[in-house]
Amino acid sequence: MPVSPASAIFAMELTGDIAGITYVQRGAQRRTSYVKSWPDKPATPAQTVVREKWKAGMAAWKALTPQQKETLEMVTSFYSMCAIGQNVWMSSWMRNDMEWPAELAASIGRPWP
């Protein structure tokens, strides 16, 4: 039986955003799609504070030396964390616990400048 172009498209594993629609495949066969919705209200002051703090944390991550980033990557590997070094950094940044990366580095015998 020949395959029509439409059925060939739907036979593919399709995930992600295409033309304002998000396609998700859950499990072996369950496929779902939904139209993306954007907020119609401005961010609350609390949301703005969190977003600004996140932006500052990302800027601080970008300012880290390659050795510091490598140390955080080694920490995640050493402790088998389901995270990357950037996740560790942002977690400590958002909690205002900037001593945590240094403690983690010391725990694996790496210096933290």
To the question of pTM greater than 0.85 for the whole model, the response is no
Mean pLDDT of 79-93: 92
The residue with greater pLDDT, 20 or 50, is 50
Residue-range domain boundaries for the chain = 5-35, 45-107
Q: What string of DSSP letters covers 26-71?
A: ETTTEEEEEE----SSPPPHHHHHHHHHHHHHHHHHHHS-HHHHHH
- Rounded CA-CA distance 97/48 in Å is 21
14: helix, coil or strand? coil
pLDDT attached to residue 85: 92
Per-residue pLDDT at 10: 55
Residues 35-51 have a mean pLDDT of: 90
Is residue 2 pLDDT above 70, yes or no?
no
DSSP 81: -
Cβ atoms 57, 86 nearer than 8 A: no
Q: Which residue has the higher pLDDT, 62 or 82?
A: 62
Q: How much is the mean pLDDT over the chain?
A: 85
